[in-house]
């Protein structure tokens, strides 16, 4: 794992953006694995503002809430539209359908998408509890796309996007940990003291399903972009 220490969200955004530009420049049909949440927003802003040519690029999102319609402002579909898809035009975009009648079939469909479009660069944030995607602590390292019950800590962290605590969804559909590990390269973004405990476990703790992100130490090509605050609990 490589670690890039930055001083600000702007520096993180530039570093992440530059890596994406490089991949888009050197591949004929690059596949980007996308995350939602605060961490990648600066990167998406640069992609929008620079009108990055993504007409040859395929995107595959990590996750989506269950029972939140795609056109609802809190859906990850809507987040991605606002952040990127309404601004620059990709060749193809894929997100899990959290409204699917048969969620098990939807998980299988999504795995087929990932087989057809293997991810070249996966962007990841990290949960305060060490989750990646919505793979909460305890999720099997061999998991593929699946339905998961969100922990109270994750629901609490995501509360800021909703009007009321009870509006925060309880379940999501997420790429599994094995699905994420198939990406050729991974860029994990972790800024601020709220992530310090998760980052310490990621870098120094045992590799354990109790902290899903720790599996990334077994991936051959991971870059962590982080700051001193997030590293503050590391030795
Ligand atoms: C988002 C996702 C989550 C977030 C994580 C960090 O699609 O899968 O794992 O990346 O919860 O969220 P932020 O970036 O808001 O701190």
Tell me the average pLDDT across 122-135.
97
Tell me the average pLDDT across 8-21.
98
Question: pLDDT at position 147, please?
Answer: 98
Q: Is the CB of 38 within 6 Å of ligand 1?
A: yes
Q: Is the CB of 130 within 6 Å of ligand 1?
A: no
Question: pLDDT at position 157, please?
Answer: 87
Q: Is the CB of 187 within 6 Å of ligand 1?
A: no
Question: Of the residues 39, 65, 132, 179, which should be mutated to test ligand 1's pocket, given the most ligand atoms within 8 Å of the CB?
Answer: 39
**Per-residue pLDDT at 165 exceeds 90:** no
Question: pLDDT at position 155, please?
Answer: 93
Question: pLDDT at position 178, please?
Answer: 98
Tell me the average pLDDT across 52-80.
97
Task: Tell which atom from ligand 1 comes closest to the C-alpha of 158.
Answer: 15
**Per-residue pLDDT at 186 exceeds 90:** yes
- SS3 of 85-121: HCCCCCCEEECCCCCCCCHHHHHHHHHHHHHHCCCCE
Annotated catalytic residue 136: yes
* Separation in Å, CA 159 to CA 118, 141, 156, 194: 32, 27, 5, 15
**Per-residue pLDDT at 77 exceeds 90:** yes
Annotated catalytic residue 146: no
pLDDT in tens, 16-48: 999 999 999 999 999 999 999 999 999 999 999
ipTM: 0.99
Q: What is the pTM of this model?
A: 0.97
Across the chain, mean pLDDT equals: 97
Cβ density class 63-75: b for 16+ within 10 Å, e for less = bbbbebeeeeebb
**Per-residue pLDDT at 161 exceeds 90:** no
**Per-residue pLDDT at 170 exceeds 90:** yes
58, burial (CB in 10 Å: exposed 0-12, middle 13-18, buried 19+): buried
Half-sphere exposure in the Cβ direction for 93 (13 Å, CA): 19
Residue 123: other Cβ atoms inside 10 A: 25
């Amino acid at each position: 794992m490589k670690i890039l220490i930055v001083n600000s969200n702007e520096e993180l955004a530039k570093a992440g953006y530059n890596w994406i530009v490089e991949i888009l420049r050197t591949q004929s049909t690059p596949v980007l694995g996308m995350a939602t949440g605060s961490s990648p927003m600066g990167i998406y802003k640069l992609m929008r503002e620079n009108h990055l040519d993504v007409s040859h690029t395929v995107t595959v999102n990590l996750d989506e809430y269950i029972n939140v319609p795609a056109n609802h402002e809190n859906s990850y579909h809507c987040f991605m539209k606002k952040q990127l898809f309404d601004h620059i035009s990709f060749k193809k975009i894929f997100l899990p359908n959290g409204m699917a009648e048969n969620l098990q079939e939807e998980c299988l469909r999504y795995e087929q998408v990932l087989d057809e479009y293997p991810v070249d660069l996966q962007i990841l944030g990290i949960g305060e509890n060490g989750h990646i995607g919505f793979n909460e602590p305890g999720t099997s390292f061999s998991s593929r796309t699946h339905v998961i019950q969100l922990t109270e800590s994750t629901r609490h962290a995501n509360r800021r996007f909703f009007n009321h605590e009870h509006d925060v969804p309880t379940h999501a559909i997420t790429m599994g940990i094995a699905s994420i590990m198939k990406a050729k390269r991974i860029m994990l973004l972790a800024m601020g003291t709220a992530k310090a405990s998760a980052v310490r476990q990621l870098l120094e703790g045992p590799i354990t399903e109790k902290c899903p992100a720790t599996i990334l130490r077994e991936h051959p090509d991971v870059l962590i972009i982080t700051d001193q605050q997030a590293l503050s609990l590391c030795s």
